[in-house]
Structure 1
Amino acid sequence: MPEPITLALVGGAILTEGVRFLYDQAGELLRQRRERTSEPSDDVTHRIELPQDTFDGQLTEPSVDGQRLTEATPVLRAAWAGAAPYAQGIDPVTPDDPASLAAVDQLRLALEAVVGQRITFRGEARERSGVRAVQRIDELDGDAVGIDAGSIQGRAESEQDIRKAKGTVTGIRAERIGP
């Protein structure tokens, strides 16, 4: 379920900078996906490091999984296109405009699907960036893993919303949990 209501609590300047950042990241990922000639499961060279003045927390693994990118490309492309007027400064992003908040949220959710972690704006009432994986898939024909980590320190959550699944769904796979 989209969460634009949590974005309404974020200041306009943070939303404006945040949508520009997310739009640029999504565009770079889409370019790399198009240019990549290797297997879709290969990692993408792009790493996402969230600006601390705009986002709360940091991604724990800022590199992008190629398989997730391949699966999320149609949704990412649509969200990127929908956020274009706001990211390019054609229309303002304001906390009292539901259309702008929905566009920012859709772009954020699409990137979350690619990185498998939350991306949270500074001042937003939700989990910090990097601590939770959310997957929303209509049809799955294969395997899906919410969080796949060598070790997890602190709190980690994984949520899968899969309509039809032919394969294996794993919430969290970790070699070690705890210090």
Structure 2
Amino acid sequence: MAEPLTLGLIGGLVLAEGVKFLYEQANQVLEGRRASRAAEAGSQDAEQPGHGLLRRPLDPGRPARELPAATLAVLGDLARFLDPYVRGQLPVEPSDRELVAVADAVRRVLEYAYDRDLSFVEEPRSGVLIHGRVDIDEVAGYAAAVRLRVADSRAVSGHARVRSVAPGGEVVGVDVERPPAS
């Protein structure tokens, strides 16, 4: 996932397009239209949302996860906040901290729903693309916040909090089978 508030570091034009994209995606998730539109257009002919704007465009289709009703309600409130910016009633400026924070919150909900990063092309890379957290009472076997086969050291962080580890137990923040070449 993208680093918090890096949206404020991109140019105004890209931010304006990014806010519009996030607003449209949020509304499509809220209305459940994404799958029906992709089906109508045909999976081969459907344009990838965010093409040219995102580092990796979304594939047309349903989100990977269903969002709980409470999360959908929050997403609706966030989208309503973005509405006057998308309609041009308020200026989209990278210095508008509240706008940047709300756009980032929409992005985080969408990243959860689609189970993938939604970083924009001009957005600075955060350095952390995977973050895992383990918070458990007792470990009798093995527990890792993040376990990967291969990793870029700039792209992974993990945090483990455990009350007790039984004899023979093991807890790690990040377990990488093949670390990056130095």
- The TM tier, using the shorter chain, reads 0.5 to 0.7
Which amino acid counterpart does residue 56 of structure 2 have in structure 1?
G
Larger Rg: 2
1:50-106 deviations in Å (ceiling 9; x for gaps): 433222223479641353x23631232222122212222211111122122112112
C-alpha change, 1:153 and 1:80, in structure 2 (3 Å) is: farther
Provide the residue aligned with 1:120 in structure 2: 119
1:114-156 deviations in Å (ceiling 9; x for gaps): 112111012212359xx65889xxxxxxxxxxxxxxxx99778
Alignment gaps of 5+ in structure 1: 34-43, 136-151, 161-179
Contact between 2:64 and 2:113, CA under 8 Å: does it hold in 1? yes
Which amino acid counterpart does residue 4 of structure 2 have in structure 1?
E
RMSD of the alignment, in Å?
A: 4.2
Residue 21 (structure 1) shift: 1.3
Provide the residue aligned with 1:7 in structure 2: 7
- The DSSP-based 3-state class of the residue aligned with 1:89 is coil
Quick one: distance in 2 between partners of 1:26 and 1:134?
A: 25
What is the aligned residue count?
Answer: 135
Contact between 1:112 and 1:119, CA under 8 Å: does it hold in 2? yes
Percent identity of equivalent pairs:
28
C-alpha change, 1:23 and 1:133, in structure 2 (3 Å) is: farther
Provide the residue aligned with 1:79 in structure 2: 78
Quick one: distance in 1 between partners of 2:55 and 2:102?
A: 20
Quick one: distance in 2 between partners of 1:49 and 1:134?
A: 28
The structure with the greater share of residues assigned to strand is: 1
Which amino acid counterpart does residue 7 of structure 2 have in structure 1?
L
Provide the residue aligned with 1:55 in structure 2: 54
Contact between 2:48 and 2:60, CA under 8 Å: does it hold in 1? no
Q: TM-score, normalised by structure 2?
A: 0.56
Contact between 1:9 and 1:124, CA under 8 Å: does it hold in 2? yes
